[in-house]
Chains A and B, each alone.
Chain A
Amino acid sequence: MSSPTSTPGGRKRGRNTNPPTPSSEDPTSPPSQRRRGQDSSTGDLMPMPTSPATDMLSPAAPQDTSLFSSPRPSVQPNEVDMSSPLMYGTPSSRVEGTPRSGVRGTPARQRPDLGSVRKAPQVDLHSEPPSTDGAVASEPNAGQRLVIWGTDVNVGTCKEKFQRFLQRFTDPNSTEDENAGLDLNEPLYMQKLEEISVVGDPVLNVNCRHVQSFDAELYRQLICYPQEVIPTFDMAVNELFFERFPDSILEYQIQVRPYNALKTRNMRSLNPEDIDQLITISGMVIRTSQLIPEMQEGFFQCQVCAYSTRVEVDRGRIAEPAVCRNCNNTHSLALVHNRSVFSDKQMIKVQESPEDMPAGQTPHTTVVYAHNDLVDKVQPGDRVNITGIYRAVPMRVNPRQNNVKSVYKTHIDAIHFRKTDEKRLHGLDEEAEQKLFTEDRVQTLKELAAKPDVYERLSSALAPSIYEHEDIKKGILLQLFGGTRKDFSQTGRGNFRAEVNILLCGDPGTSKSQLLQYVYNLVPRGQYTSGKGSSAVGLTAYVMKDPETRQLVLQTGALVLSDNGICCIDEFDKMSDNTRSVLHEVMEQQTLSIAKAGIICQLNARTAVLAAANPVESQWNPKKTTIENIQLPHTLLSRFDLIFLMLDPQDEAYDRRLAHHLVSLYYQSEEQMEEEFLDMAVLKDYIAYARTYISPRLSEEASQALIEAYVDMRKIGSGRGMVSAYPRQLESLIRLAEAHAKVRFSEKVESIDVEEAKRLHREALKQSATDPRTGFVDISILTTGMSATARKRKEEVAQALKKLIQAKGKTPAMKYQQLLDDLRGQSETAITKELFDEALRALADEDYLTVTGKTVRLLA
């Protein structure tokens, strides 16, 4: 095989204005195409700016500084190998280009996405002076010494390699959902070809990463010379396909669509060196144009003798034939529009995704052209990965002007689109999540994780401007890491919630909002809403009718947008009940159901909720329970794993430390601060790394510890007739323990994790679920909205009242006030009016009595 690093040159050739007319050699060519082939030789093509000069001494090598490395046809006809892709796509070569007769009947389709430079000639090394820098021909096969002009691509070798790739490549560890249902131990792409033969959609998507792992050299050629290599791939795949499935009928020949090129990930890093190379960029579609019909072939008819001819469009230009070949009249040919051939084209504007952008800059945009069936594949707002060829076109030369603007227009010819947000509806978006970490970074993170105090370090690095509240910060830290995702769908329970929900309540001005803002800025998929302004629709999703297309569009709200992230909800208490009710589903089932305008669907909303609520009376009343203070339904409260109170502790030592913290905040320089705390970027990476790569499982010892902890928790209450733990609390404990193991980068949940989870859970409970009347922790405050003592008290009063009434004998009706006074006189403890009312209601429920106005009547 020959892969010369520099292609031979040194020969100045005249421009070939007369392409070979080989159609007669091929009997299978349809007559019309044959004719077109002949006609395409009419009219000289204008010198095109997109190709190197004819008099270049050597073809454009990859290291060429020139912008345009596309080769242009400049070889003699006798040097052109007819079976090569140099004729690829031109009408005259459509059939000849695919060498096997098995392809018969299946027309090739033009690939405008590969650009219009289709006539890449091959250069035979035999006829060239030997290359000076040692192009080694490893195989003395004459045919293999041919390379496509301007590249180091040998068609034969390339084809062979690709066929080998298709036949042999397996990816046993594949996680892509495209491969679902395929046997991972069989050659992957052969199965896909089989699929094509069944489905009949002649498109083969090829993951460049697979090509790279299979043959690095082939991958390099694909990246550097996509325009030449992809047609070769097409040829290879069609040969293989029709060999295997000779009877299958396709609309047109199979097209190879590579994706996932590693060349570029970010729009900002595109530079002149990427021109004419295969690149993959990610971004968001912001605008799509209407369909643009692009002429591929012009149909001309002579006005004198009605002789017709077809002229192919080359690089956006059409060479109008000046002389009719039939009657030799000049300027007699006119273009007939509706007999010309057009292809679809669409302009798409893509903008950098917000995550890729440096702060303080505006996002860049890039123009992408989609061709044929890629038109209308994406809609504005879609997040996409686009694979395509990067192009630069100079501003048009105006014959009337001497000087031109020295700026090029750049765009990408799309070959493959891959939506990144679409998959979020039915699976984890592994690819987008996979943030690439450099080895160094991973090393630093691991070193950090090995430190014994990593948990404390990280929690203190969280919102350093907010003073103390250590436990709250630890809780939020665990929330950022989250538990391990478990799937019980096979046993019918569906996904298990892995996200930790946290509620902060407390006095206004205790920097709750600041904490929320910080978290929102820290996580990549954070959303920040305020309970005051958001409606149920704004949180979930709504269906909108596009005024132009009359199409129904599903618009997602904050909760769906923060899937796999954290949704920060400020002023949780100010939210309307209606809005709050949608949270029930999200916070336990992690899904959102929508039934609106005929669309019924369930969206994933695996979001952790971080909410902040103010007490109803603006100041926290320590004499009341959490429920009474924030007036939230207990059904919702019990869905929070941790509920923290942020109160002003009011003790001297605390005040002193607080003052010191604040003063230093105001005079320390940036640098001093940096030293003291971990960088926010490190923290971000640490969390991202742990979330992606670490999924701890419970160890035997840890599960024992959890069981004990749960049993203990239930025991505490049982002595007093109260329940202090429910299964939900056990689940919370497991999540917290898992998150803590993640912080340590440990694949196993150990007893220290359980210890910390227990401690944190207890702290949060102590703060929020303490019965202000007894001072005991009572989980029923959160689960039923009333502490067990309060419930007991209610019952006692009701019984006392019943006794009182019974003692009064057979009086069918009593005065309300009289009864209250009697009860008060009898009871040792103070009876409030509310308590009395409740007791009456309880008795009424027993059908013992009824209350009408100010009269209490006994029932029989």
Chain B
Amino acid sequence: DLCTHIHTDNPHSETFTELCLLDVLAASQNNSNSGWETKAVEFFQDQLKERDTHTLVPSLNDVPLHYLKPNSLVKFRCLIQDMFDPEFYMGVYETVDPSTKTKMLRCGKYKDVTECGVDFNSRNTVTAERQTFYCVPIPGENPWVKEISSSCLTEARVVPSTSYAPSRQKRSYEEDDDMDTQPQKQREPHAGMKIPSEHHGNGDCKRQETEAPSSQTASASHLDLNFPLPGEKGPSCLVKVYEDWDRFKLNDTLEVYGILSVSPALSALADEKDASSSLLDPAESMETAEEQRVHSPPASLVPRLHMLHAKPLPHNNPLLPSAALEDNSAFLSSTLSEMASVREEILSYFTHVLLGDALAAEYLILHLISNVYSRRDVLPLGKFTLNLSGCPTVASYTERFYQIIQQLVPSSHYLAMSLQNMNQMRLVPKKDYVANRLVSGALQLARNTSLFLDETQLEQGQLDTTGVRNVTALGNLISWQKVDYDFNYHQMEFPCNINVLIASEGRSLLPSDCQIHLQPQVAPSHLEESLSSIHMHPQASSQLNKFRIYLSMARLLDYSISDEVTKSVEDDFVDMRKDDPQSISAEDLHRMLVVARLLSLSLGQTSLSRDSWLRAKHIEMLRRSRMEQHKCVNGNEP
């Protein structure tokens, strides 16, 4: 009878049953039979795994909230910014019709608000537990990612069942109540009728609308949406999780599929606080005003999303298939074969960007594809923090350089290490016990975010306590790939995986895995010209896309070292030490192994070859000789 239920209740069921099933489940399911429910959810999860069904689901990232139909299935690409306390809710409850006195069991799952006439004393009430996560869009996600992923969604827009009904938002709450009492069927066609005229033809309009919430945020600035990075836009969301919430961790990036709930009743509940009764009501005095505001913000700003299914995102590059690479062998082999040639192109591009320094360009590629792939006790493996010293301070070179990187990686952030920034910025997330939430900081970033530290902005002066703490936090991030979140009474360590690139004049004051001094081949007088030429010829978008796929792909590849190569590496090491023990230390070997790994991956090779090892040794040698040479030039280097 599952199917009959769907068909009778939903007018659009012919084409996209799977999308509407949720409407059924969420909006018109009065049946508390749990077997029915699990079956429905399973069906959904299967459907989402299959084919390209997921592209048909509208995304909260791209579609403005007021275009989305409440209680419909939406998806949201996000980062778990905070975890609230688990809450108990009425999993099953009974309602009594005031006129007929008939009782009915109802399901409270995937909903925020109950139907009217709840019988609190019913024995059939089942209390269940769910967890709430506060999710924000992936911090530092670059504009090109947003553009491409929203254009992927065009198909979804043509589908009537994913229609946006803007009129919905305008209805007052009272009206809503009336509507709720009406049977679902009567309302659906009414909403459905409006849609075709509503959304056809004006794609541009949609983009404008996406911006709308940001201005709203500004006006309602008392409600801090707690984005890790300043100037971020987009909806944040309270995601309700019903099953194994233990498998999610803070800062995980997910694509959540769930039922959107924007019921105005949610905020109404929070607003309605009459002073007269609050004294005696135990439930009311429990929360401070701030906590109320943070934990139940207006649903129009922070919608609720009841999770049905969540897909962990290994990357957020929309150009790559979202399925695991092993499952997509065709794509894998085609890109692998191209990698060497793409590498050549990207190398020459970077050489141009780095003012003709090919060696630095080589290291930049290695840095951009680095990734903490494993941790041995406290030691993160695979990190490759690059310190690019000798950056010209003229013609805002570092800013321009960052803009180029921004075009290539899915998410990135530019942090100017000016004294003012260091002394004032909140880098480390801190727990606010008054509002009971984790106040985010700029270092709460998703995995594989590129963090660009511009040390050329740093001038002489006094660092205050915050400044020292911020510099220490950056140092810890680079050395251990972890951030110690401040919980006031204690600190808690959260591992991270952030690619840090430091641009500086001399050697950076922060630690780094690898330092390379830039040797521009361009005379300072021609710098401006040379730089503008990069911007004069913006890479064709297909070219850019190739680079983007290349950089994300290289990071996802597997890697191994054969026993044979292991042996020769060992021999090499012993030989080098024999000649001059000072020439190479254990730390150098560490770095060389990372360089060799990244070099192989950048060439699309998944195991280390003798050639790659020699090449790694060679570029390391070049880099070191350059450093020594540089040391002689100005003797004040440490």
Q: Do A and B bind each other?
A: yes
List A residues at the B interface (Cβ < 8 Å).
47, 49, 51-54, 56, 60, 64-68, 271-272, 275, 284, 286-287, 292, 295, 313, 316-318, 347, 349, 351, 354, 357-367, 369, 380-381, 392-398, 400-411, 463-465, 467, 509-511, 514, 517-518, 521, 533, 648, 650, 652, 655-656, 658-660, 662-667, 670, 673, 680
Binds A, one of B4-12, B68-76, B208-216, B583-591: B583-591
Whether the Cβ atoms of A349 and B82 lie closer than 8 Å is no
Whether the Cβ atoms of B87 and A49 lie closer than 8 Å is no
Could you list 22 examples of A-B contacts with CB < 8 Å? A47-B121, A53-B122, A64-B123, A66-B124, A66-B125, A68-B121, A360-B249, A362-B83, A362-B438, A366-B85, A381-B489, A397-B120, A398-B272, A406-B108, A406-B111, A408-B127, A411-B282, A521-B377, A652-B574, A652-B578, A663-B561, A666-B597
Whether the Cβ atoms of B436 and A360 lie closer than 8 Å is no
Whether A521 contacts B434 in the complex (CB less than 8 A), given A403-B116, A666-B597, comes out as: no
B contact residues around A286 at 8 Å (CB): 433, 488-489
Instruction: Kindly list the 4 A-B residue pairs having the minimum CB-CB distance in the complex, ordered from nearest.
Output: A360-B249, A402-B116, A53-B121, A49-B120
Whether A659 contacts B125 in the complex (CB less than 8 A), given A404-B118, A509-B587, A533-B472, comes out as: no
A contact residues around B495 at 8 Å (CB): 359-360
- Name the residue in B250, B378, B480 with the highest tally of chain A Cβ atoms < 10 Å from its Cβ: B378
Whether the Cβ atoms of B376 and A361 lie closer than 8 Å is no
User: B33 within 8 Å of A by Cβ?
Assistant: no
Whether the Cβ atoms of A363 and B570 lie closer than 8 Å is no
Binds A, one of B190-198, B261-269, B453-461: B261-269
Contact with A along B367-386 (1 / 0, CB 8 A): 00000001011110100000
> How far apart are A141's CB and chain B's nearest CB, in angstroms?
32
User: B112 within 8 Å of A by Cβ?
Assistant: yes
User: B324 within 8 Å of A by Cβ?
Assistant: no
> How far apart are B373's CB and chain A's nearest CB, in angstroms?
9
> How far apart are A260's CB and chain B's nearest CB, in angstroms?
24
User: B509 within 8 Å of A by Cβ?
Assistant: no
Whether the Cβ atoms of A665 and B574 lie closer than 8 Å is no
Whether the Cβ atoms of A51 and B86 lie closer than 8 Å is no
A661, closest chain B residue (CB): B586
Whether A347 contacts B285 in the complex (CB less than 8 A), given A362-B250, A521-B377, comes out as: yes
Bound together, the chains give a CA A380 to CA B489 distance in angstroms of: 9
A619, closest chain B residue (CB): B582
A contact residues around B283 at 8 Å (CB): 393-396, 409
| Chain B 40-89 interface residues, beta-carbon cutoff 8 Å to A | 82-83, 85-89
Whether the Cβ atoms of A673 and B376 lie closer than 8 Å is yes
Whether the Cβ atoms of B127 and A680 lie closer than 8 Å is no
List B residues at the A interface (Cβ < 8 Å).
82-83, 85-90, 93, 108, 111-129, 177, 180, 246, 249-251, 265-266, 268-269, 272, 277, 279-286, 374, 376-379, 381, 431, 433-434, 436, 438, 468, 472, 480, 487-490, 492-495, 559-561, 566, 569-570, 573-574, 577-578, 581, 585-587, 589-590, 593-594, 597, 608
Whether the Cβ atoms of B88 and A408 lie closer than 8 Å is yes
- Identify B569's interface contact among A65, A465, A663, CB under 8 A: A663
Whether A663 contacts B121 in the complex (CB less than 8 A), given A271-B129, A347-B285, A509-B585, comes out as: no
B contact residues around A406 at 8 Å (CB): 89-90, 93, 108, 111-114
Bound together, the chains give a CA A54 to CA B268 distance in angstroms of: 32
Bound together, the chains give a CA A313 to CA B590 distance in angstroms of: 71
Whether A403 contacts B114 in the complex (CB less than 8 A), given A286-B488, A514-B378, A662-B593, comes out as: yes
> How far apart are B156's CB and chain A's nearest CB, in angstroms?
30
Whether A358 contacts B246 in the complex (CB less than 8 A), given A286-B489, A406-B112, A652-B574, comes out as: yes
Whether the Cβ atoms of B585 and A648 lie closer than 8 Å is yes
> How far apart are A531's CB and chain B's nearest CB, in angstroms?
14
Whether the Cβ atoms of A464 and B587 lie closer than 8 Å is no
Bound together, the chains give a CA A258 to CA B114 distance in angstroms of: 38
Bound together, the chains give a CA A134 to CA B356 distance in angstroms of: 93
Whether the Cβ atoms of B436 and A365 lie closer than 8 Å is yes
Bound together, the chains give a CA A599 to CA B282 distance in angstroms of: 40
Bound together, the chains give a CA A292 to CA B281 distance in angstroms of: 12
> How far apart are B84's CB and chain A's nearest CB, in angstroms?
9
Whether the Cβ atoms of A272 and B128 lie closer than 8 Å is yes
> How far apart are A507's CB and chain B's nearest CB, in angstroms?
9
Bound together, the chains give a CA A518 to CA B493 distance in angstroms of: 13
A contact residues around B83 at 8 Å (CB): 361-362
- Identify A659's interface contact among B177, B438, B569, CB under 8 A: B569
A contact residues around B122 at 8 Å (CB): 53, 66
Whether the Cβ atoms of A518 and B378 lie closer than 8 Å is yes
Bound together, the chains give a CA A658 to CA B569 distance in angstroms of: 11
A contact residues around B431 at 8 Å (CB): 362
A contact residues around B128 at 8 Å (CB): 272
Whether A360 contacts B480 in the complex (CB less than 8 A), given A401-B268, A403-B265, A405-B266, comes out as: no
B contact residues around A287 at 8 Å (CB): 433-434
B contact residues around A517 at 8 Å (CB): 378, 480
Whether the Cβ atoms of A313 and B280 lie closer than 8 Å is yes
B586, closest chain A residue (CB): A658
Whether the Cβ atoms of B593 and A392 lie closer than 8 Å is no
B285, closest chain A residue (CB): A292
- Identify B280's interface contact among A68, A318, A365, A533, CB under 8 A: A318
Bound together, the chains give a CA A464 to CA B126 distance in angstroms of: 49
B contact residues around A655 at 8 Å (CB): 573-574, 577
A contact residues around B587 at 8 Å (CB): 509
Whether the Cβ atoms of A51 and B180 lie closer than 8 Å is no
A contact residues around B480 at 8 Å (CB): 517
Besides A67-B88, A405-B114, A518-B378, 10 more A-B contacts (Cβ < 8 Å) are A354-B490, A360-B495, A392-B127, A401-B269, A402-B116, A464-B377, A511-B586, A659-B573, A667-B561, A680-B377
> How far apart are B637's CB and chain A's nearest CB, in angstroms?
14
Bound together, the chains give a CA A435 to CA B199 distance in angstroms of: 62
B contact residues around A394 at 8 Å (CB): 90, 120, 283
Whether the Cβ atoms of B88 and A663 lie closer than 8 Å is no
Bound together, the chains give a CA A386 to CA B569 distance in angstroms of: 59
Whether the Cβ atoms of A663 and B120 lie closer than 8 Å is no
B381, closest chain A residue (CB): A666
A395, closest chain B residue (CB): B283
A contact residues around B438 at 8 Å (CB): 362
Bound together, the chains give a CA A467 to CA B116 distance in angstroms of: 67
Whether the Cβ atoms of B269 and A650 lie closer than 8 Å is no
B90, closest chain A residue (CB): A406
Whether the Cβ atoms of A663 and B114 lie closer than 8 Å is no
> How far apart are B469's CB and chain A's nearest CB, in angstroms?
9
Bound together, the chains give a CA A662 to CA B251 distance in angstroms of: 30
- Identify B586's interface contact among A284, A401, A467, CB under 8 A: A467
- Name the residue in A64, A284, A381, A662 with the highest tally of chain B Cβ atoms < 10 Å from its Cβ: A662
> How far apart are B549's CB and chain A's nearest CB, in angstroms?
26
A contact residues around B272 at 8 Å (CB): 398, 400
A515, closest chain B residue (CB): B378
Bound together, the chains give a CA A365 to CA B436 distance in angstroms of: 8
A contact residues around B285 at 8 Å (CB): 292, 347
Whether the Cβ atoms of B566 and A663 lie closer than 8 Å is yes
Whether the Cβ atoms of A403 and B379 lie closer than 8 Å is no
Whether the Cβ atoms of A361 and B86 lie closer than 8 Å is no
Whether A360 contacts B250 in the complex (CB less than 8 A), given A272-B88, A666-B593, comes out as: yes
Whether the Cβ atoms of B123 and A52 lie closer than 8 Å is yes
> How far apart are B26's CB and chain A's nearest CB, in angstroms?
13
> How far apart are A38's CB and chain B's nearest CB, in angstroms?
23
Bound together, the chains give a CA A401 to CA B271 distance in angstroms of: 13
B contact residues around A66 at 8 Å (CB): 122-125
B contact residues around A397 at 8 Å (CB): 118, 120
Bound together, the chains give a CA A396 to CA B287 distance in angstroms of: 14
Whether the Cβ atoms of A648 and B85 lie closer than 8 Å is no
Whether the Cβ atoms of B114 and A349 lie closer than 8 Å is no
Whether the Cβ atoms of A362 and B585 lie closer than 8 Å is no
> How far apart are A754's CB and chain B's nearest CB, in angstroms?
31
Bound together, the chains give a CA A284 to CA B121 distance in angstroms of: 35
Whether the Cβ atoms of A662 and B586 lie closer than 8 Å is yes
Bound together, the chains give a CA A409 to CA B269 distance in angstroms of: 14
